[in-house]
């Protein structure tokens, strides 16, 4: 089955800096790669996703890149703000009705 | 829609007791998932259903865990007997057919003493 590795497990940055979180996956048939943000004590929520037919997607300060050959994808957050502090999870799945398999999460701390 | 609804939000029980967690998915969603979250293991998939039928239960830890979905608007996850290592936050999530996005409930925090 699919296995998703995520690094780093913790990341501390200063406000205004960029943050990058990286994930690798094992199943070459996976073609959907979302990122979820979980604030303390809250539920995970989708912030951005990418499908295998594109290499990059942006939404304001966040972007995701995908390298299918190397089987890795990354989340980039620019101009970080304290409210970006949360746990971020990457995930992977095959499109046709299978479950998301999550990485173990990255705790991002943004200090002002 | 009120979103995915889980109950109870918090449960504290003693080892050996039966625990039942409940979930109401978003109306019209065809898929329902149960995940378990711990610090050590992150978000682990336990089981998921499509149109009320279990599709993959390979993540269920052992025979003490069971899940049912008797209809499109209700699912249960049961642990019997419970053990301290079952302490975790259990999330239910649902998804519409053709969509990738999972909508999570607020979770049920289980503590087994």
- Share the mean pLDDT of chain B: 96
Give the whole-number percent of chain A exceeding pLDDT 90: 89
- Measured between CA atoms, the residue of chain B closest to residue A44 is B104
Give the whole-number percent of chain B exceeding pLDDT 70: 99
- Measured between CA atoms, the residue of chain A closest to residue B40 is A104
Q: What is the mean pLDDT of residues A86-110?
A: 92
* DSSP states along chain A: ---EEEE-SEEEEETT--EEEEEEES-TT--EEEEEEE-TTS--EEEEEEETT-SEEEETTEEEEEETTTTEEEEEE-S--GGG-EEEEEEEB-TTTPPPEE---EEEEEE-
Confidence label for B1 from pLDDT (cuts 50, 70 and 90): low
Residues of A in contact with B104 (CB under 8 A): 43-45
Confidence label for A97 from pLDDT (cuts 50, 70 and 90): low
- Choose, out of B34, B35, B45, the residue to mutate when testing the contact with A (most A CBs < 10 Å): B45
Contact: B97, A97; criterion CB under 8 Å: yes
Cβ of A101 under 8 Å from any chain B Cβ? Answer: yes
In 3D space, the residue among A41, A106, A97, A29 whose CA is nearest the CA of residue A74 turns out to be A106
Asked whether residue A68 carries a pLDDT value surpassing 90, the answer given is yes
Q: How much is the pLDDT for B98?
A: 84
Q: How much is the pLDDT for A54?
A: 83
- Share the mean pLDDT of chain A: 95
Contact: B101, A97; criterion CB under 8 Å: no
Residues of B in contact with A89 (CB under 8 A): 42-43
Segment A6-47, tens digit of pLDDT: 999 999 999 999 999 999 999 999 999 999 999 999 999 999
């Amino acid at each position: 089955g699919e296995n998703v590795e995520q690094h780093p497990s913790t990341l501390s940055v200063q406000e205004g800096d960029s943050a990058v979180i990286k994930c690798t996956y094992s199943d070459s048939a996976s073609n959907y790669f979302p990122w979820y943000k979980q604030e303390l004590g809250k539920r995970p929520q989708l912030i951005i996703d990418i499908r295998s037919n594109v290499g990059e997607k942006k939404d304001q300060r966040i972007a995701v890149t995908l390298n299918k050959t190397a089987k890795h994808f990354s989340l980039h957050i620019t101009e970080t703000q304290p409210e970006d502090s949360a746990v971020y999870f990457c995930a992977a799945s095959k499109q046709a009705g299978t479950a998301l398999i999550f990485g173990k999460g990255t705790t991002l701390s943004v200090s002002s | 829609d009120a979103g995915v609804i889980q109950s109870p939000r918090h449960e504290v029980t003693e080892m050996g007791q039966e625990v039942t967690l409940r979930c109401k998915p978003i109306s019209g969603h065809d898929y329902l998932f149960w995940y378990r979250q711990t610090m050590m293991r992150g978000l682990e998939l336990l089981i998921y259903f499509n149109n009320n039928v279990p599709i993959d239960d390979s993540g269920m830890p052992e025979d003490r865990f069971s899940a049912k979905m008797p209809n499109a608007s209700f699912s249960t996850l049961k642990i019997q007997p419970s053990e301290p290592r079952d302490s975790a936050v259990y999330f239910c999530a649902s998804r519409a057919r053709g969509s990738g996005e999972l909508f999570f409930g607020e979770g049920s925090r289980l503590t087994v003493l």
